Amino acid sequence: PDPSISMGVFSGIIVGLVTAGLYRRFHDIRLPDYLAFFGGKRFVPIITALVTLVLGALFGLIWPPIQGAINAAGQGIVALGPIGTGLYGCLNRLLIPFGLHHVLNTYVWFQLGTYHTAHGVVTGDLNRYFAGDPTAGNFMAGFFPVMMFGLPAACLAMIRRAQYPRVAAGILLSAALTSFLTGVTEPIEFAFLFVAPVLFLIHAVLTGTALAICTILGIRIGFTFSAGLIDYLINFSKANTSQPLLLLLIGLIYAVVYYCIFSFCIERFNLATPGRGGTTTDSRSDWILPESQRGPRSGEATAGAAAPERVSTAGDADERLAAELLAALGGQENVESVEGCITRLRLFISEPGRIDEARLRSLGAAGVIRHGKIVQVVMGTQSDRLASRMKQLMKQSDRQREQAAVPPASQDEIQGRR
């Protein structure tokens, strides 16, 4: 066997997807009575083991040429120098709406390049950087000017150009601080991705140029989580960190560039960034805020005015919004599972055709992304909290149905128990 042939993390991703699919397909399977013990969920590990054996043999045949192509592509990117890092930075941002940037990052950070240490061979730009490779870190350094300076400056531009500055500030100030400190940028990017996609395209190009410039200047620094101040300070004095102070100067330049470009585009093209564009239900600018902090929707109930029928649910604003989201998704019975991340609800839907996208947008969704039965609803920074409330409502509904299915005890049965 050739020890250099390895699928790395891709094998884990593939097995995870296959296992999830097999579970959904076979978790409630019924077998003949003499095999009934192995039915249901017990059948899943059995079928998974058999399928992965077949996959192992299959990928043993098809993976070597794929790995050769990947290695050649990686070497090509490295050979391109600053153009290669620039292309990577641009693609990294462009893939964010589809969630595929993790696939690109997985290869670049954990498989690109090799570095020999006393403990063995280390691969990937991130791994090599922390192993002490003096040539690693150029695929990470360029993110610091964008995440620490560029995007916070873009937030300032959106606040300054907002028709409703208080709404915009409520959305963007905390997101800017999060980006500066930790390098988490999704709350900012999803604040303008769907309402002003031209700005997101510009942002992707600027990210690519930042990585290219850092490569040209020989700046190298890495991160464990993301390109924020915390990681910058932790890795500032690392032996193989190169020219970290120059990174701050580049960051200040990018802050000016982001501010000027965002300000010009917002004014010139009248882009509906947070705090702009009125309060129509289809293009709300305060979608990222909790419902309790949003302004009135256009046409929403005023005294004596007709309003759309809304779900009546006791509890706080989050609970009411969670109930309305479930209704817009086709009802609780149509939602098989729900999870929340930084800015999105990630759902598995039984019948996607029952989803009411217009109603979801009226509830504050900035976008609805569909991939078959897998649906993502962009609800901003409240997504994780809403997912928890939706799960609670679904569990309550399940318990109520179970209780309703149990027939009440007759009077004779009650007397018999006594």
Please identify which of the residues 90, 260, 265, 341 carries the catalytic annotation.
341
Closest CA to 209 of 253, 175, 244: 253
* CB of 145 closer than 8 Å to CB of 247: yes
Q: Which two tokens stand for residue 56?
A: 């192992």
Cβ count within 10 A of residue 94:
19
* CB of 341 closer than 8 Å to CB of 384: yes
User: Would residue 341 show up in a list of annotated catalytic residues for this protein?
Assistant: yes
Buried b (16+ CB within 10 A) or exposed e, 337-361: ebebeebbbbbebeebeebeeebbb
In 124-243, where does DSSP find H-type helix? 125-130, 143-145, 151-160, 165-182, 186-192, 197-216, 229-235
170 to each of 176, 269, 365, how far by Cα in Å?
A: 11, 23, 17
Closest CA to 92 of 72, 81, 107: 107
Q: Which two tokens stand for residue 377?
A: 């609803």
The helix (H) or strand (E) run that includes residue 105 is helix 101-110
Q: By CB neighbour count within 10 A (0-12 exposed, 13-18 middle, 19+ buried), where does 378 fall?
A: buried
Buried b (16+ CB within 10 A) or exposed e, 143-174: bbbbbbbbbbbbbbbbbebbebeebbbbbbee
* CB of 226 closer than 8 Å to CB of 234: no
31 to each of 22, 26, 36, 37, 42, how far by Cα in Å?
A: 16, 11, 5, 8, 11
Report the chain's terminal Cα–Cα distance, integer Å.
74
Q: Name, in order, each residue with C-beta under 8 angstroms of 411's C-beta and a sequence gap of 6 or more.
A: none
| CA distance linking residue 58 with residue 50, whole number of Å | 13
Active site residues: 341
